[in-house]
Chains A and B, each alone.
Chain A
Amino acid sequence: DTEVTQTPKHLVMGMTNKKSLKCEQHMGHRAMYWYKQKAKKPPELMFVYSYEKLSINESVPSRFSPECPNSSLLNLHLHALQPEDSALYLCASSPGDRSNQPQHFGDGTRLSIL
């Protein structure tokens, strides 16, 4: 069982829709991450939150908007996405953004853009 929970598991949306992906962890971790993964490719880092503040944005287009309401929750707000944004979106957490402890991943949200 994964300790990082992502909802929904699947999402199909049109290019004009607005939707949100949610991620939750209760391990007391203070760093949370969003990754994008295309089929048979490694995950690509999008954002890092450390102590609820955005610490890394990997030049992600503004149609992706992250939010960290508290230390346990991480959201990714989606608006006006493109077909190439279809991918598996993974959330991860770790004790801190500078620790050597491994990141714990959720099972992801599979996003399809029509």
Chain B
Amino acid sequence: AQSVAQPEDQVNVAEGNPLTVKCTYSVSGNPYLFWYVQYPNRGLQFLLKYITGDNLVKGSYGFEAEFNKSQTSFHLKKPSALVSDSALYFCAVRDDTGFQKLVFGTGTRLLVSP
């Protein structure tokens, strides 16, 4: 079965510094990976996805993610964090049944301090 792991419950970073939110995956077959962000009292917003192609994926709001097949990782990155990036981040993988059933990680809370 497909699964993703987010090893950090919380990541703290100072504004202006680079940020990384970690995600590792376990899949049978090709991985279809997604990152979503959730602000308080809001739904999930799509940031970026990896299906095939370049290992460095660029997404919304200046975020990018690096797909690493050998390390089975898909870490989310941003060169310069903003206070407004503080939110809950979910990594997800598409289920291997062929349906677009997403399997989510447990989430990582990002806190960016001024």
Asked if B68 CB lies within 8 Å of chain A CBs, one says no
Across the interface, do B99 and A97 meet the contact criterion of CB distance under 8 Å?
A: yes
Mask of A81-112 contacts with B, CB within 8 angstroms, 1/0: 00000000010101011111011111110100
Set of chain B residues within 8 Å of A98, measured between Cβ atoms: 98-100
Name the contact of B100 in the complex, choosing from A6, A90, A99, A110 (C-beta under 8 A). Answer: A99
Across the interface, do A107 and B88 meet the contact criterion of CB distance under 8 Å?
A: no
Interface residue count for B (Cβ, 8 Å)? Answer: 24
Q: Which residue of A lies closest to B49 (CB)?
A: A102
Asked if A12 CB lies within 8 Å of chain B CBs, one says no
Asked if A2 CB lies within 8 Å of chain B CBs, one says yes
Across the interface, do A56 and B45 meet the contact criterion of CB distance under 8 Å?
A: no
Set of chain A residues within 8 Å of B49, measured between Cβ atoms: 100, 102
> Given contacts A40-B107, A102-B49, are A108 and B43 in contact (CB under 8 A)?
yes
* Stretch in contact with the other chain, from A13-21, A41-49, A61-69, A71-79: A41-49
Query: Which residues A33-65 have CB closer than 8 A to chain B?
Result: 40-43, 45, 48, 55-56
Across the interface, do B51 and A90 meet the contact criterion of CB distance under 8 Å?
A: no
State the Cβ distance, B75 to closest chain A Cβ, in Å.
18
Q: List 20 A-B contacts (CB under 8 A).
A: A4-B43, A6-B43, A31-B100, A42-B107, A48-B99, A48-B100, A92-B44, A94-B100, A97-B100, A98-B98, A100-B32, A100-B49, A102-B46, A102-B49, A103-B46, A103-B100, A105-B44, A105-B45, A108-B42, A108-B43
Q: A40-B109, A100-B51, A102-B49 are in contact. List 7 more A-B contacts (CB 8 A).
A: A43-B104, A48-B99, A55-B99, A92-B43, A97-B99, A105-B44, A107-B42
Q: Which residues of B does A touch, CB under 8 Å?
A: 32, 34, 36, 41-46, 49, 51, 88, 90, 94, 98-102, 104-107, 109
